[in-house]
Structure 1
């Protein structure tokens, strides 16, 4: 079964309607993350860093979808005045 909210989230991100680059401090955090990734790569190698990055990416995607679903449901409850 297709997950409509997952598809909607992908659409919103791909069309820059939900742009995480606009978050306060985004660029600074990216620079700090890159510095950490460089240290990890030097210490443990590129294979380990790739594995870590893939796992972190999966977790971030799952968290974003959970937040998107929650926000969507919350908006519906607020608009329709539904109980939790």
Structure 2
């Protein structure tokens, strides 16, 4: 029995997929959407096939996608803040 087959593990995966889906909603065009969409697909495929390695790879890609989106948001906010200081 793997960690993902327990009730607590499935709830954790549900929360992880919810977080990835929420990040996908506000993702940057093209650059941020591809890794997050791939992560959601891999996690779902790994859960259906009961393959923990695919789930972990999907979660790893999801972390990279969230980091890319956080960097994109930081760049936009810092650019706007520097623009407002010029006025």
How does the TM-score come out when normalised to structure 2? 0.44
> Relative contact order (C-alpha < 8 Å, sep 6+): which is higher?
1
**More helix by proportion, 1 or 2?**
2
The structure number with the bigger radius of gyration is 1
